A = this chain, B = another copy of it.
Amino acid sequence: MGEQQLDRVTSDELVYVPASEFRRLLDARLQPHTTTEAFAALARINTLYMIARAWSGHIGTSFSSLDIMSWLFLNEMRDLDRGPGACDIFFSSKGHDAPALYSVLIGLGLLPEEKVDNLRRLHGLPGHPHVETPYIQANTGSLGMGVSKAKGMAIANRLAGTPRRIFVLTGDGELQEGQFWESLASAANHHLAEIVVIVDHNRIQSDTWVEQVSDLGDVEAKLRAFGWHVARCDGHDVRALERTFRALDRIAEQPKVVIADTVKGKGVSFMEGPSMGAGDLYAYHSGAPTEAEYAGGSTELVDRARGLFNASGLGALATKNGRRPERREPRFTQNLISAYKDALVTQADRHPRLVVLDADLVKDCGLVPFAQKYPERFVECGIAEQDMVSMACGLAKRGALPVAHSFACFLSARPNEQIYNQCSEGSKVIYVGSLAGLLPGGPGHSHQSVRDIGALGSVPNLLMAEPSVENEVHALFEYLVDTAVESSYLRLVSVKWPVPFGYPAGQRVQPGRGWVVRDGRDLVVTGYGPWLLSNAWHAAEELQKSFGITTRLINLPWLNRVDSAWLKEAIGDRRAVLLLDNHYVRGGQGEMLAAAVAGLGLDPVASVMRLGVMELPECGTNDEVLAYHGLDVASLVTAFRTAVGRHRPGTVSQPA
């Protein structure tokens, strides 16, 4: 990030339970309930450790599901020793409980102990499950796919003559997704009794209580109506879990679902859902604990584990220490979500027809101030993106100006056809996709939205825009609300970033036209968004300082629209052109621009290079991910030099 003012955040001593202590517990061959309770207690310590060390992760849902996972892996899953391809199958459909699952697998010796230090790190344990990790049976992170996947597995197993039980863990908020209900009927019609779904019924979704977001009503009645056998029990009571699973053994003709009543954040008093004040948003869905929260939580968890070890005659519990890596944060950053939060209220004040729709991401999308100021114009849809978009379509048909929100990865893909359908009506809806692009790198590829420009770019009557700094958020959103006659998609990077340039005073918003971030003669580079342009800016500075090569850096905030006359002028007589993307190269802005350059017929011909994401995004820290994908400053310096060298061979050495 170049020279920045950095604040030291913190660095703590952390504690975890080594695999040898799990082994000692398992080898003691205690009564299954005792073993499972103690195992889960150890796994909670390691889960908190992993999340604290990674500086991010989902504590609440990991803790609510840990007793269930522990019971399953210690008592239900057959043939674990025969390897992941030949044993009973377990996977989590909600997926953000991955740290809990990793802790269980490490405790069983199915993943190596040193992995506790690698959550959300490059080539470590991804933020959401990925099948490259041993014993991970499905990529999840986007919700509602679990039962469908289990059905496919069951059919394949039956065709191969190797039937196996398949356990799928879901969230309760997840049941708002239509695919969950879509998937139920054929499981019942085909009598797929080997499928056992466990609903981690902790009653709190991303933001707050499920019943406040989008009440599920009588879940048992719904599931029974779909032809499933339904059981219910306390998901933290291992005896109840055992009774429930034994009763299921007798159901031979129906798929089964267990509604396991749980407590979000179970195990740490102040993280437990019911401790949340009335009207509060739940604080431990995602993110990292503070120093104090970690210390308090870890103490509670270790005390409980020690108590269980003592009570079982296992003696003292040995733990190991690790350190939380120091994290330094730049003092002055651009926070686009915060700017959007203000811009939304500003526009809502001026436009009484503006209605906001959300899909259970009120905090992350910056909607709290609007929702508080205009509760009657705020529509919380729950985790139901297709429903949200078609509702927006209906709202627009009747004269409202709907603004629909989710993470970019979900908003561009899950309701992809619904967005096209809405745009086909010629009405105006504004879509706002946050968490766009490669960063943050921690959640993994299900959340790293590097495909949204391609997925939506062809939709007619849909203008796609991405701001790079806070002032540009205001300018673009105002344009989309006031001036644009068509629908639009505002793509927002959520990571805060120290941006070394500002929005030009008096800049006019014109679709298809961008602005010069810094000027130069030898090379023209295009990009968009805060970190991509910032890294390019620093690379340009470095190139000028070290090699005397000067770069014109251009921000084109329009992702699927370019004005050819402007582009021709922006390139001028420069003949080395490098097009950057915070997106897959295929389908990104650079492809549109390269195609436009080809259409300009520049003479002499320009040398055009494109740089962006080329493969499925890796999970890791932001620095790791940028370096891996060649989009950090150092990699850009090399790319810039190559681009100039391609145009003027001999200027710089060519890479192999």
Does A149 sit at the interface, judged by CB under 8 A? yes
A225 touches B214 (CB 8 A): no
B391 touches A148 (CB 8 A): yes
How far is A460 from B448 in the complex, measured between Cα atoms in Å? 14
A225 touches B222 (CB 8 A): yes
With beta carbons under 8 angstroms apart, the residue of B183, B455, B583, B599 that contacts A455 is B455
Does A467 sit at the interface, judged by CB under 8 A? no
Does A481 sit at the interface, judged by CB under 8 A? no
Interface window among A240-248, A282-290, A419-427: A419-427
B149 touches A185 (CB 8 A): no
B139 touches A424 (CB 8 A): yes
For A149, the chain B residues whose CB sits under 8 A away are 390-391, 393-394, 397
- A:424-465 near B, CB below 8 Å: 424-426, 445-446, 451, 453-461
Does A218 sit at the interface, judged by CB under 8 A? yes
With beta carbons under 8 angstroms apart, the residue of B177, B425, B446, B608 that contacts A598 is B608
- A:226-275 near B, CB below 8 Å: 226-227
- A:548-592 near B, CB below 8 Å: 560, 583-584, 586-588, 590-592
Instruction: Check A393/B152 contact, CB under 8 A, given A215-B185, A599-B608, A605-B603.
Output: yes
Nearest-CB distance from A597 to chain B (Å)?
5
Residue with the highest number of chain B CB atoms closer than 10 Å, among A131, A384, A387 = A387
With beta carbons under 8 angstroms apart, the residue of B150, B225, B379 that contacts A155 is B379
With beta carbons under 8 angstroms apart, the residue of B151, B390, B587, B606 that contacts A152 is B390
Chain A binding surface SS class: helix
Interface window among A156-164, A487-495, A516-524: A156-164
How far is A280 from B458 in the complex, measured between Cα atoms in Å? 40
Nearest-CB distance from A550 to chain B (Å)?
22
Excluding A155-B395, A416-B416, A587-B587, 19 further A-B contacts by CB distance (< 8 Å) are A131-B426, A144-B386, A145-B418, A148-B390, A149-B391, A156-B355, A160-B400, A178-B182, A185-B217, A218-B225, A222-B226, A225-B225, A451-B458, A454-B454, A455-B456, A458-B583, A461-B616, A594-B596, A599-B608
How far is A425 from B445 in the complex, measured between Cα atoms in Å? 11
Residue with the highest number of chain B CB atoms closer than 10 Å, among A392, A420, A584, A646 = A420
Number of interface residues of A (CB under 8 A): 119
A586 touches B391 (CB 8 A): no
How far is A543 from B334 in the complex, measured between Cα atoms in Å? 57
With beta carbons under 8 angstroms apart, the residue of B155, B221, B381, B413 that contacts A186 is B381
Does A73 sit at the interface, judged by CB under 8 A? no
Instruction: Check A421/B394 contact, CB under 8 A, given A182-B384, A225-B222.
Output: no
Nearest-CB distance from A107 to chain B (Å)?
25
How far is A615 from B377 in the complex, measured between Cα atoms in Å? 33
For A413, the chain B residues whose CB sits under 8 A away are 416-417, 420
Instruction: Check A183/B421 contact, CB under 8 A, given A457-B454, A457-B587.
Output: no
Does A189 sit at the interface, judged by CB under 8 A? yes
Does A502 sit at the interface, judged by CB under 8 A? no
Copy count, this protein chain: 2
- A:383-415 near B, CB below 8 Å: 384, 386-400, 402, 409-410, 413-414
Q: Which residue of B lies closest to A166 (CB)?
A: B394
How far is A377 from B149 in the complex, measured between Cα atoms in Å? 17
A601 touches B592 (CB 8 A): no
23 A-B pairs with CB atoms under 8 Å apart are A138-B397, A145-B418, A148-B388, A149-B393, A152-B400, A153-B394, A153-B395, A155-B395, A156-B398, A157-B398, A159-B376, A160-B398, A177-B178, A178-B182, A179-B386, A186-B384, A420-B451, A424-B446, A453-B458, A458-B587, A594-B598, A595-B598, A604-B605
For A152, the chain B residues whose CB sits under 8 A away are 390-398, 400, 402
Nearest-CB distance from A315 to chain B (Å)?
43
B215 touches A189 (CB 8 A): yes
Q: Which residue of B lies closest to A603 (CB)?
A: B605
How far is A144 from B413 in the complex, measured between Cα atoms in Å? 17
Q: Which 9 A-B pairs have the closest CB atoms?
A: A152-B394, A178-B182, A178-B178, A148-B390, A454-B458, A156-B398, A413-B417, A458-B587, A594-B595
Nearest-CB distance from A390 to chain B (Å)?
3
Residue with the highest number of chain B CB atoms closer than 10 Å, among A421, A584, A609 = A421
Nearest-CB distance from A212 to chain B (Å)?
10
With beta carbons under 8 angstroms apart, the residue of B225, B382, B392, B394 that contacts A221 is B225
Nearest-CB distance from A374 to chain B (Å)?
11
Nearest-CB distance from A127 to chain B (Å)?
14
Does A298 sit at the interface, judged by CB under 8 A? no
Does A371 sit at the interface, judged by CB under 8 A? no
A155-194 interface mask toward B, CB cutoff 8 Å, 1 = contact, 0 = none?
1110110000000000000001111111101101100000
Instruction: Check A457/B586 contact, CB under 8 A, given A149-B397, A159-B376, A376-B159.
Output: yes
Does A319 sit at the interface, judged by CB under 8 A? no
A625-647 interface mask toward B, CB cutoff 8 Å, 1 = contact, 0 = none?
00000000000000000000010
Does A137 sit at the interface, judged by CB under 8 A? yes
Q: Which residue of B lies closest to A221 (CB)?
A: B225
Does A26 sit at the interface, judged by CB under 8 A? no
Instruction: Check A156/B400 contact, CB under 8 A, given A182-B386, A592-B591, A595-B598.
Output: yes
How far is A607 from B598 in the complex, measured between Cα atoms in Å? 7
For A397, the chain B residues whose CB sits under 8 A away are 131, 137-138, 149, 152-153, 156
B160 touches A188 (CB 8 A): no
How far is A400 from B162 in the complex, measured between Cα atoms in Å? 13
Q: Which residue of B lies closest to A599 (CB)?
A: B608
For A391, the chain B residues whose CB sits under 8 A away are 148-149, 151-152, 155
Q: Which residue of B lies closest to A418 (CB)?
A: B145
B615 touches A387 (CB 8 A): no
Does A28 sit at the interface, judged by CB under 8 A? no
Nearest-CB distance from A179 to chain B (Å)?
5
Does A610 sit at the interface, judged by CB under 8 A? yes
B616 touches A460 (CB 8 A): yes
For A155, the chain B residues whose CB sits under 8 A away are 355, 379, 391, 394-395, 400
